[in-house]
Amino acid sequence: MNPSASKLKDELIQTLKTNYGYSPEEATDRQMYGTILTVVQSYLTRKRADYLDTLKKNDKKRIYYMSMEFLVGPSLRNNLYNLNMQAEMKQAVSELGFDLDVIYEMEPDPGLGNGGLGRLASCYMDAATTLGYPITGFSIRYEFGIFKQQIVDGWQIEYPDDWLELGGYWLTPRDDEAMEVHFDGHVEERWGERGLTTIHRDYYTVRAVPYDLMVSGKDSEAINCLRLWRAEAPTSKSFDMYTFSRGEYVKSMEEDAKAESISKVLYPADDHIEGKRLRLKQQYFFVSASLQTIIRDYLRTHESLDNLPEYAVIHINDTHPALCVPELMRILLDDCGYEWENAWEITCRTLAYTNHTVMSEALERWDLNLFRQHLPRITKIIEEIDRRFCKDVFEFHPEKRNQLSSMAIIGDGQVRMANLCVIACFSVNGVSKLHSDILKEDLFKDYNDIFPGKLTNVTNGIAARRWLCQGNPLLTSYITELIGDGFVHDLSQLEQLAKFADDRQVLRQLAEIKLENKKMLAKYISAANGINLDPTSLFDIQVKRLHEYKRQLMNALHICHLYLQIKHHGLVIEPRAFIFGAKASPGYYMAKEIIRFICALGDLINRDPATKGMLKVIFLADYKVSLAEKIYPAAEISEQISQAGKEASGTGNMKMMLNGALTLGTMDGANIEIYDAVGADNIFIFGMNTEEVNRTRDNGYSPRAIYDANPYVREVLDFVRSGGLDGKNFDSIVQYLLNNDTYMSLADFESYRIAQTKVNEVYRNPDKWNRMSLMNIAGSGIFSADRSIEDYIRDIWYK
């Protein structure tokens, strides 16, 4: 039974009084914010207790989702929505003289992730919880999440993201469940009665303290938990009497700081692996603490670990938690006394792995010496796994002997984490059809030959209840009016919208809603960037991490082309606003240059009377979950223009489609499945497909030849080179395009330009456009995270 507004009001008054000693008349927004979160948190806690009781009564298989990243996003509205308390809370808060919408805006984004991979993990927690599966997420309680981005003169500046002050309300510290994690030292091997035993000596200990974040599900009795580990010096160490009495407090403080540094900050790169010591420590720290917890909990209700794979599955989200493999082996061998063969069988049957990228620079490899120094016991186990694997291949798959040097876990003095995962896990999946095919046929081909059936696909999905129901209330209530609210729990019901494809009344209403959403975004942009957009112009959106393969630069080159055509050649187009949002890895120079390029283009275009009323370019700073929630409902064109074969899936593409945007994209990642869902008439596809990309590369790609042959490309590059962007120097970009153009923006430019012309034409015909938009909403059902979770359950976790 949900609490009434008046009950909530009483609880708010009481909590405000106990926590702050104030009455509502005296309280600030900040105090009311703390009060509301405390009240909601108490509902979650009680519900969680009930859920744990029901879990005790059944032995349903537990799912453990290991991920270095969870991009949780704001939780207050999500929790109120899930608990069906939104309206009551709004009323209660308003009767106390506050505005819930203002309170929502105060909540920080826990930015505990970089991008798609982290957001996916959170969407899956939401969906699995709604569906009633017992899932626990494990990660790190970074004190600082992904940096805050500011743009100064076009240049990205990073600021620390201090999210805990206002975001910490959702975290429950569980000191009682702290764990110890051991680093460094050396390993001693001894022959004794029980054969060879291994002892890890002279290690130093880091204390792992869990902070639990409760995850609610819509209309669900389940409340699951995301357990975030914080690193501390061990209690005895932090007030070490010996060092203290010798006057060495400073040294002792240094030790504390060293331990605490492990959970200090999220690594803000998602594009290339730098073999940084601290990151390796982060990985082992959270893996070890989590696995020890899982095993301890399991042994509370089971006699041995023999049947662990029937009752638990541990999912490795990309290779970052790959140390689960040797750590589970270590626990089984050293702590529980298993023989190697049995330990290996249990480990392999318990672990599953998802790959999220084929970019070789992002595949994790670690220096073997670094490993040996910090994780001596783990290194020995990996070496033994590798030795046995190589021996097996040599004996049983002689046809692969020549491939062994690339298939082995250790090679060239490095530990290759993806190989470790593929060899050990019972399931390996990609995140879209195309991506999984590439894994099978290319990246992991040799393993696919010797482990038939291990590689599989689960196409990504999104938490539609967040990205549509909460983020776009106008559209949600209209859809409900048309087809009822069954889509909330079964997104495939959106298909029913297709029957309105030729209903002009419905199409006009959809356009009206889009316009309202665009007005809201325009208002935000006016305040944030000081630029006023015409809300009737076409909102063309590219928001995602900045990376060369995602080709924001190709988008910018095309905008520059439009500008020159309008200014010098009399081109007339439908008014269009190009909107970008993207964070660049702090050390990624080219990515930062591309941001500077987009901003310079915006500076030039936004104040040129020649393009006034026709073109605007906006770069929105600090793209994050809460900003995404404002942008998607207003999107009309969703730019998904990566080089084919490079974007594993994409999920922003799904979020925009669900909100009625039309995809302008290449045949890459999940775009292919969007194409399948809506048909060729309802999407703008351009560019080379994967095969053509490979052929072009194999034939020796020459961007300069394209510059010579294509007058539009030439005009744009010459303009930039000659200082057309307010005299600003972009030589590094021009040289890069002419000499490398690694992701072939120039090769796809002409095809992109033509597709953009088509977009412009269709926009002139609102009936046609709105029909396409409706068909996109209608076709987006398969991209529900609920569907993805059921796929994982059926094909992997409960198989």
First to last CA, the chain: 36
In the residue annotation, 655 being an active-site residue is answered as yes
Site for ligand 26V in 295-354 (CB under 6 A): 318
Stretch that binds ligand 26V, among 109-117, 212-220, 523-531, 605-613 (CB under 6 A): 109-117
How far apart CA 673 and CA 535 sit, in angstroms, is 30
DSSP tag of 169: G
Candidates 550, 753, 771, 787; catalytic one: 550
- Site membership for ligand 26V, residue 550 (CB under 6 A): no
Q: Indicate the residue type of 422.
A: V
Instruction: List the beta strands (DSSP E) in 545-679.
Output: 576-581, 615-620, 637-640, 662-665
Q: Look up residue 628 and give its two tokens.
A: 């995404």
Which of 323, 494, 521, 648 is the binder for ligand 26V (CB under 6 A)? 648
In the residue annotation, 550 being an active-site residue is answered as yes
Instruction: Give CA angle at 718 (716, 719), nearest 5°.
Output: 65
Contacts of the segment 8-16: beta carbons below 8 A, 24+ positions apart:
8/39, 8/85, 8/88, 8/89, 8/92, 9/92, 9/95, 9/96, 11/39, 11/42, 12/36, 12/39, 12/92, 12/93, 12/96, 13/96, 15/39
In the residue annotation, 616 being an active-site residue is answered as no
In the residue annotation, 545 being an active-site residue is answered as yes
Contact (CB, 8 A) for 470 and 83: no
Which of 110, 111, 116, 781 is the binder for ligand 26V (CB under 6 A)? 116
| H or E element at residue 525 | helix 504-529
> How many positions of this chain bind ligand 26V (CB under 6 A)?
22
Stretch that binds ligand 26V, among 110-118, 297-305, 373-381, 782-790 (CB under 6 A): 110-118
- Site membership for ligand 26V, residue 668 (CB under 6 A): no
| H or E element at residue 365 | strand 365-367
- How near is the Cβ of 738 to ligand 26V at its closest, in Å? 27
Q: Look up residue 125 and give its two tokens.
A: 């927690």
| H or E element at residue 471 | none
Q: Indicate the residue type of 655.
A: K
- How near is the Cβ of 194 to ligand 26V at its closest, in Å? 40
- Site membership for ligand 26V, residue 355 (CB under 6 A): no
Give 181 or 269: the residue with its C-beta nearer to ligand 26V.
269
Contact (CB, 8 A) for 305 and 336: yes
Stretch that binds ligand 26V, among 305-313, 356-364, 679-687, 738-746 (CB under 6 A): 356-364
Which of 13, 157, 166, 362 is the binder for ligand 26V (CB under 6 A)? 362
- Site membership for ligand 26V, residue 356 (CB under 6 A): yes
Tell me the residue number closest to ligand 26V, measured at CB.
116
Q: What are phi and psi of 202, to 5 degrees?
A: 55, 30
Contact (CB, 8 A) for 206 and 263: no
Which residues make Cβ contacts (< 8 Å) with residue 654, sequence separation at least 6? 460, 461, 462, 670, 674, 780, 783
Which residues make Cβ contacts (< 8 Å) with residue 649, sequence separation at least 6? 116, 356, 431, 432, 435, 459, 460, 669, 670
In the residue annotation, 356 being an active-site residue is answered as yes
- How near is the Cβ of 430 to ligand 26V at its closest, in Å? 9
- Site membership for ligand 26V, residue 666 (CB under 6 A): no
Helix, strand or coil, per DSSP, at residue 614:
coil
Candidates 200, 356, 377, 518; catalytic one: 356
Contact (CB, 8 A) for 460 and 433: no
- How near is the Cβ of 267 to ligand 26V at its closest, in Å? 5
- Site membership for ligand 26V, residue 114 (CB under 6 A): yes
In the residue annotation, 57 being an active-site residue is answered as no
- Site membership for ligand 26V, residue 370 (CB under 6 A): no
- Site membership for ligand 26V, residue 786 (CB under 6 A): no
Candidates 655, 753, 771, 787; catalytic one: 655
Site for ligand 26V in 442-471 (CB under 6 A): 460
Give 288 or 649: the residue with its C-beta nearer to ligand 26V.
649
- How near is the Cβ of 11 to ligand 26V at its closest, in Å? 39
- Site membership for ligand 26V, residue 649 (CB under 6 A): yes
- How near is the Cβ of 365 to ligand 26V at its closest, in Å? 10
Q: What are phi and psi of 165, to 5 degrees?
A: -55, -50
Contact mark string toward ligand 26V, 678..707, x via CB under 6 A = ------------------------------
Site for ligand 26V in 261-280 (CB under 6 A): 267, 269-270, 273
Give 295 or 648: the residue with its C-beta nearer to ligand 26V.
648
| H or E element at residue 535 | none
- Site membership for ligand 26V, residue 755 (CB under 6 A): no
Cβ-count burial of 255 within 10 angstroms (0-12 exposed, 13-18 middle, 19+ buried)?
A: middle
Candidates 227, 377, 440, 545; catalytic one: 545
Site for ligand 26V in 408-437 (CB under 6 A): 431
How far apart CA 228 and CA 48 sit, in angstroms, is 17
Q: Look up residue 13 and give its two tokens.
A: 């008054």
Q: What is the contact surface with ligand 26V in residues (CB under 6 A)?
A: 114-117, 120, 267, 269-270, 273, 318, 356-357, 362, 364, 431, 460, 647-651, 669
Catalytic positions = 356, 544-545, 550, 651, 655
